[in-house]
Amino acid sequence: MRKEKIVIGTRQSKLALFQTNLVANRLKDDFEVEIVKIKTTGDKILDSALSDIGERGLFTKEIEEALLDGKIDMAVHSMKDLPTELPAGLMIGAILEREDPRDVLISKGNLSLLDLPKRAKVATSSLRRRAQLLALRKDLNVVDIRGNLDTRLKKLDAGDVDAIVLAASGLIRLGLAERIAERFSADEMLSAVGQGAIGIEMREGDERIKDAIAPLGHKETSLAVRAERAFLHRLEGGCQVPVAALGVLEDEGLELFGLVASLDGNRIIKGWMIDEEIRPEKLGVDLAENLLGKGADEVLKGIRGAS
């Protein structure tokens, strides 16, 4: 008997394809799977900092359009790339078990951040990482870097920069964990919303796809990421605003750590809450309100006014 076909849309990078194949391999026993590679705006514009492009959904918009047009049946995303507001008619169908959510340093000579020389050139494409790096070391020369993981590593190996900060999850998934010089704790550098988690986006009401991907979902990761996304949504932040959050499900309840930072790292506003009743969206909103009351609103207004 011929298997039903499922068409999955994804970005073209090595990491995106690895993540998509994780999903595809779990569906292949029951479905014929086709993977369609789609180039997004964020993949096309490589000569500008992400924060300068000023568009939400940089790495998702074209994929979501293909999903709405029926050209693909589902999309696989890094959750940290997925805006908190999805286009009408789309939903997150499943979130897979999270890989290590931490940020890491890769450096010449395998040096830690504190051991890097004065004015060391440290590269990142993230304003969130930039702010937290400067909060740790004011003397660093934090520079922008674009391109996929291989491109960034080549720039480091060529001596263009002294170090780069990346997500642990991507390096681990691509078998490059040995390149990591230092793993940052949440106190040192709180990770991006959804970092390390893979999400499957689908059309609302598509019961065939909903049933197919239901076994792939990971409850603990989903609860944590939902809280993080609610936190970000209340702050009206995007992936290019210095906002960070990490949810953790413990025996006592759902914990959420949150942070808002000024671009120069001079103001870091942090908070933590726990919800014993495990209501992720309420927890995210409550923590956001807590940080707004501490001055996060003023910090975010300053950032938006400067952009």
- Active-site residue set: 81
d(CA 102, CA 100) in angstroms, rounded, equals 6
Amino acid at 271: G
For residues 263 and 131, the answer to whether their CB atoms sit within 8 Å is yes
d(CA 178, CA 196) in angstroms, rounded, equals 18
* Of 164, 91, 83, residue with least CA distance to 121: 164
User: Is residue 247 within a helix (H) or strand (E), and if so which, with residue range?
Assistant: strand 243-250
The strand order across the sheet containing 103-107 reads 141-143, 121-123, 163-167, 103-107, 182-183
> Strand 182-183 and strand 103-107: pairing?
antiparallel
User: Under DSSP, is residue 105 helix (H, G, I), strand (E, B) or coil?
Assistant: strand
d(CA 248, CA 269) in angstroms, rounded, equals 19
The radius of gyration computed from the CA coordinates of the chain, to the nearest angstrom, equals 19
Phi, psi of 110 (to 5 degrees): 60, 35
For residues 209 and 73, the answer to whether their CB atoms sit within 8 Å is yes
d(CA 220, CA 97) in angstroms, rounded, equals 8
Phi, psi of 128 (to 5 degrees): -60, -45
